Structure 1
Amino acid sequence: MAIIVALFLTVAVGFMAIGIDLGSLYFRQKSLQTQADMTAISAVLNLSGTPDDHAQATVIGNRLEASALTSLEYGRYIYDSALPAEDRFETRDLSDVDVNAAEVVLKGAAPLFFSQTFLDTDSTPLSASATAARFDFASFSLGSRLLDLDGGILNALLGAALGSNVSLSLLDYQALLDTQIDLLTFTDALAVRADLVALDYAEILTSEIDLLDVAGALLDTGLVSGSTDVLTAILNCTACGSFNASELIGISGDNVAIQLEDRLGTVSVSALDVLKATLDIVNANRLIEADVGLPIPNVLGNVDLAVVVGEREAYSSWINLGERGATLHTAQVRLKLDVDLSPSLLSGLGVGVSALSLRLPIYAEIASATVTLTDLYCDASGPNDRIASFDTGLTPFTGTNGTHVVELFIGEFDAPAFEDTTTPLDAANLSPADFLDLELNLALITIDLFTLQLKAHAATGNALQPQIDFLVSDIAGSPKTVGSGSLLASTVASLLDPNNLEISISSQSQSLLGGLLSLLLTPVVALVDSVLDVLPGKLLGALLTPIDALLDGVLNVLGIGIGQADLTLDGVACGKVALVR
């Protein structure tokens, strides 16, 4: 019996060792892992402050020795399903702007109870590691904002997309302008319209859609209170252009994609901005023509407008939800204005000289713009604290030739050259344009076929700040203009500078004057010379104000700024921390 009991007690002690010691080891390992998780989260939550101190405080607060923290590394964690899990964390210096994760290793020991009978030790070492990442991102949009409403231009933009004439009132567009819609509601409605309900949000926003889907989604939300004639007109389209949804709403990285369901609902935009941005995408590289009736003094009747908008770069969309490093790009815009001005602007040209008509064909090439989200300050609390910074680049707003913010021309370009946005407008290809018909009232003769031609070119280079900051109070507020507000007026002044103007007499007038000069000689020669001498200075004084006002008014309606970009910070999501490993 003694032998049997001894054998049984040995087995019993073995089972107790397994049951009690292994249970104790498991419990202490789980506790150490929890402490490692908490330490990693504590470090990540304080990346912008003193993460080392907070990590140590967490270790000590969990009744561990400070030496238990054997490793603390910072880096960049990228949630990319295409990468193996072990390759998603890249070590960085804490000072690097793209650091978003911390990896910790804790060491500990667990006491042994009954196992000491079989093992030559009273404890066993334990180790636990954890990686926590913080996903901060911002939603921002660039350049699609309408500064004003004009039915003629908006109808032209819509008509170009639909391939038909559209005649809608400002009240129809005003209903869309007054409607704010969050991106979650819009995306849900878009998924139903485009038959994408089986996909997740990241897949929906990278799928092919068309203008009908966007208009239908805006209508299906039920948020448009007022006229829906604009959306109804689009739904009657039979062949509207298609595009990828990422050109409208971009997602920069899987780190953002995994949070879409939580964050899309926090971003609200105007329904008209959504539609206008869609039209910009669909109308890329199309020639759009419209009559503009802006109340500008000394501008006679409507102004003929032609617009060509280039395509955005492949990586860019209209609104972007992205982390640090996310980039948006606006497309280059070209426009032509045929302007009839009041002849009374050019009075006092000489005795017996009066203007019959005054016409200016103006071309403008407005270069593209790029902004990059460089930093988010998630420790901001007060309304006047900085929350985000954007880099406008070392050479922003450059034209296709890489040197100009804007180029203005007076003259004539051939249609193919104007419509091809891949080729810069070249002043060498600019032809003089008939701009002024003068009447010469002599003693017994009135000559009304004296036509002058004009050619001018002016360009403005980089004149922009390299960085723009947003405060907490700026979130979802008015857009900030990146650029120089006085750039347009100064460029128009350069265009009309007498040193830049080339004034000549049309060939038909030269033939007529040639015959008259042989008869009248000296009086007519002196009169023509005096007109040509005084005209350049009078053009600058008379035309600067109406031309500047006209260009400014047209560009405001289109949402375009010369040497500018309208940057809106729609929302900031800070502090979502996840244990990723």
Structure 2
Amino acid sequence: MTHPSFRKGPQAQRGATAVFAAAALVAMLTAALLAIDVGRLYIAKRDLQKLANVAALDASRLVSGCAVDDAPFQLPGAGELQEFVEQTVADNGLGSDLLDSAQVEVGTVERRGEDDDGPAGTRFLAVDGADVQAVRVTLRRSFPQPLMPLLPYDEGRTMVASATAGQLAVGSFYLGSGLLSLDGGILNALLSGLLGGNVNLTVLDYNGLADVGVSLEALALAVGLEVEDLSDPLALQTQTPLLSDAIDGLAGALSGTASGTITGLLGDLAAVAANGDNLPVPLGQIIGEVDDTAAAAPFVNLLDLLIALGAAANADDSGSVAPIALPVSLSLPGLASVHTFVQILEPPQFSGMQRAGVAEAHTAQVKLLVRARVDALNSVTQALNLLLLGGLLGQVTAPPIALGVDVNVAEGRAWLDRIQCPRSSDPTLAADLSANASVATIKLGTFSGAPSAAPAITNGLAQLLGVTIKILGGLIAEIKVNLFLQAPVETTAGNPSPVPLQTVDAFTKVDQASGARPYWLADEAPQTPYNPQTVGTTGLLSGTMSTLFSSMQITASDPAHPNASSSICLLRVIVCTLSIPVGSVLDAVLNPVVALLGTLLNGVGGIVDAIIDPLLQALGIQIGSATVTMNAISVDQPRIISTEVPAAGS
């Protein structure tokens, strides 16, 4: 039997080596292809993330207003943002499959708490946030087809990349009191009424207070809150400071920047408030929504802030402050007495550091009240002498006329319309603002009661003057003539239409610590002619009172009480033997009296005009005009906030 023979030696081992080499080559090729596929996946995901970052950064410039050239800035709609992002993807994209996969969302940036989903302290986009601060772009694309056809591949699978970006572009301004002529006495009375004590500062003191800027950081420090808590209703409700503590806190917060004279004045004012009612201050009434952005930038002057704090503390449920008597001493012919009051119906509100299209401020809504007694005896006697044979037959008595004037100054408003951010092509930093001036409603009528108590003007028909004529001491006849004002008269001064202001483009950069957000302070006059700037026309009340007085309708009869308006009492012994109602008759007979009374009142109108204009100016109330002061702008580069992919369905 023959057996096959096997080769022995090196030649016999060559075939086994080839098999192992072939298997190793296949394994190496597979590993190389897997490595290439993994690299392709990594590069595809990296490029997708880069594209999401670029699209989000570009969109954040649009949302912040830095990429908008027109004023006023309006937040772009969903369609406009979607189109903008798709164009960015098309310009920088990796294929047309990305164009229909861009999801664009805007919202507020918030931080996670300990009880929230996700790592505590990380920032995320709250899509339902009230204030749009950032934009999130989410892109999807199919996975690259693997190089090895034998590997499983699902065409429906997509890779996802997301980026949330925001750009800081905010500004602060205030619609100030525009104190045209500081009057120590009047402002002392105003602050005394708001603080609840006796304030006695000089005009120099008030100028010093008005020259000090207060930042959000200083205000927050003064009331023991974080800056972002100034717009948190819960924080303000649980930590509302007392008025004296807020003022004393300002003294401490400003100790490093304001002079010792100013901090000393604040200490004195805090002591005045502590000795008064010392009411809590609802800060939410004067500070809009704020955050810690550029908190060191001043947003209001100290005097305006003090008045706003006092007004907010003293406001009732309707937001009004009780009338505060002003020290007006007049000795004018025809005026028996004059009492003036100011009533803050709504405190001023300051913009804080806000975005264009969001930042807004309004002045205080104020009512100036004048309550006067006018001596009408001489004019009435002259008219009645025609009926009494030169006064030989009788004696005339006429008490002073009660006249009230209410000047209700509605709030003026101002808006930050656009911030021009510095760019490589144009490094100019600028701000566009607009404002509408305050409008005044002037009401003239009569009142009942003591003028020193600031009684309300009587609505409807009311007695204006009561005249008593006694013939031969009243033994023959006693005539009572009541003159009635048919209704109060009103007029309006000013135009409420918004007016664009001149662009403010002179700013000085403030050096900050490393890592802090940069901000620029707006230069003021004389460095720039447009800060502050006033819109509207002043002096709109000139002659207003005289016009109102001439439109008053005076009658001798009371249609509601025809038998009691005016009467003649004949043959008075103990009681009136015969009483004859003569109101309708006197309407015709007393035309000379009414005419002369109208002349008297027209003259009083000029006197009241002379009272009101200086008072309004001294209080910083500008009818028909508004003074806007730009404070600061903070602009940063667009930044990626998060690359977290939103949860499915969010």
Of the three residues 337, 343, 348, the one matched with 1:308 is: 343
Q: Secondary structure at the match of 1:261?
A: coil
Counterpart position of 1:240: 278
CA distances 1:67-118 after superposition (whole Å, capped 9, x unpaired):
6433556664234679999984479xxxxx98974746364765756x5674
Partners of 1:451 and 1:572 lie apart in 2 by: 67
Of the three residues 23, 36, 42, the one matched with 2:52 is: 36
Which structure has the larger Rg? Answer: 2
Partners of 2:263 and 2:311 lie apart in 1 by: 20
Partners of 1:75 and 1:502 lie apart in 2 by: 68
Shift of 1:454: 8.3
Partners of 1:242 and 1:529 lie apart in 2 by: 57
Counterpart position of 2:7: none
Of the three residues 405, 413, 426, the one matched with 1:363 is: 405
Query: What is the TM-score normalised by the length of structure 1?
Result: 0.68
Question: Given the superposition, is the C-alpha separation of residues 346 and 155 from structure 1 closer, same or farther in structure 2, using an over 3 Å criterion?
Answer: farther
Of the three residues 105, 115, 129, the one matched with 2:139 is: 105
Q: Which moved more, 1:451-460 or 1:157-166?
A: 451-460
Q: What is the correspondence of 1:143-292 to structure 2 with a 5 Å cutoff?
A: 144-184=177-217, 186-187=218-219, 190-191=220-221, 193-196=222-225, 207-220=239-252, 221-222=254-255, 223-225=257-259, 226=261, 228=263, 230-236=265-271, 237-238=274-275, 239-251=277-289, 257=290, 260-284=291-315, 285-292=320-327
CA distances 1:240-287 after superposition (whole Å, capped 9, x unpaired):
111232223221xxxxx5xx3332333442111111111221232443
Partners of 1:530 and 1:287 lie apart in 2 by: 41
Partners of 2:637 and 2:332 lie apart in 1 by: 55
CA contact (8 A) 1:72 1:103 kept: yes
Of the three residues 497, 501, 504, the one matched with 2:550 is: 497
Counterpart position of 2:370: 337
Counterpart position of 1:444: none
Shift of 1:176: 0.7
Q: Secondary structure at the match of 1:560?
A: coil
Shift of 1:146: 3.7
CA contact (8 A) 1:145 1:273 kept: no
Question: Given the superposition, is the C-alpha separation of residues 513 and 68 from structure 1 closer, same or farther in structure 2, using an over 3 Å criterion?
Answer: farther
Query: What is the TM-score normalised by the length of structure 2?
Result: 0.62
Counterpart position of 1:376: 418
CA contact (8 A) 1:406 1:562 kept: no
Of the three residues 581, 588, 611, the one matched with 1:550 is: 611
Which letter does structure 1 place at the counterpart of 2:596?
Answer: V
Which letter does structure 2 place at the counterpart of 1:33?
Answer: Q
Shift of 1:364: 0.5
Which letter does structure 1 place at the counterpart of 2:139?
Answer: V
Q: Secondary structure at the match of 1:364?
A: strand
Counterpart position of 1:467: 498
Question: Given the superposition, is the C-alpha separation of residues 128 and 141 from structure 1 closer, same or farther in structure 2, using an over 3 Å criterion?
Answer: same
Partners of 1:80 and 1:299 lie apart in 2 by: 66
Partners of 2:181 and 2:546 lie apart in 1 by: 24
Question: Given the superposition, is the C-alpha separation of residues 274 and 107 from structure 1 closer, same or farther in structure 2, using an over 3 Å criterion?
Answer: same
Structure 1, gaps ≥5 residues long? 92-96, 252-256, 398-404, 438-449, 516-524
Counterpart position of 1:441: none
CA contact (8 A) 1:333 1:367 kept: yes
Q: Secondary structure at the match of 1:472?
A: coil
Aligned length: 520
Counterpart position of 1:534: 596
Shift of 1:430: 5.3
Which letter does structure 2 place at the counterpart of 1:537?
Answer: T
Shift of 1:29: 1.1
Counterpart position of 2:74: none
Structure with higher helix content: 1
Question: Given the superposition, is the C-alpha separation of residues 15 and 66 from structure 1 closer, same or farther in structure 2, using an over 3 Å criterion?
Answer: closer
Shift of 1:322: 4.0
Shift of 1:218: 3.0
| C-alpha RMSD over aligned residues | 5.6
CA contact (8 A) 1:247 1:318 kept: no
User: 1:411 and 2:411 equivalent?
Assistant: no
Shift of 1:472: 2.3
CA contact (8 A) 1:492 1:548 kept: yes
CA contact (8 A) 2:434 2:500 kept: yes
Partners of 1:533 and 1:573 lie apart in 2 by: 64
- Provide the identity percentage: 21
Question: Given the superposition, is the C-alpha separation of residues 263 and 40 from structure 1 closer, same or farther in structure 2, using an over 3 Å criterion?
Answer: same
CA contact (8 A) 1:37 1:130 kept: yes
Which letter does structure 2 place at the counterpart of 1:263?
Answer: A
Partners of 1:579 and 1:560 lie apart in 2 by: 46
Question: Given the superposition, is the C-alpha separation of residues 567 and 536 from structure 1 closer, same or farther in structure 2, using an over 3 Å criterion?
Answer: same
Question: Given the superposition, is the C-alpha separation of residues 128 and 227 from structure 1 closer, same or farther in structure 2, using an over 3 Å criterion?
Answer: closer
Shift of 1:219: 1.8
Shift of 1:32: 2.1
CA contact (8 A) 1:298 1:546 kept: no
Q: Secondary structure at the match of 1:214?
A: helix
Counterpart position of 1:519: none
Partners of 1:430 and 1:161 lie apart in 2 by: 33
Question: Given the superposition, is the C-alpha separation of residues 263 and 99 from structure 1 closer, same or farther in structure 2, using an over 3 Å criterion?
Answer: closer
Shift of 1:307: 2.8
Of the three residues 100, 118, 121, the one matched with 1:70 is: 100
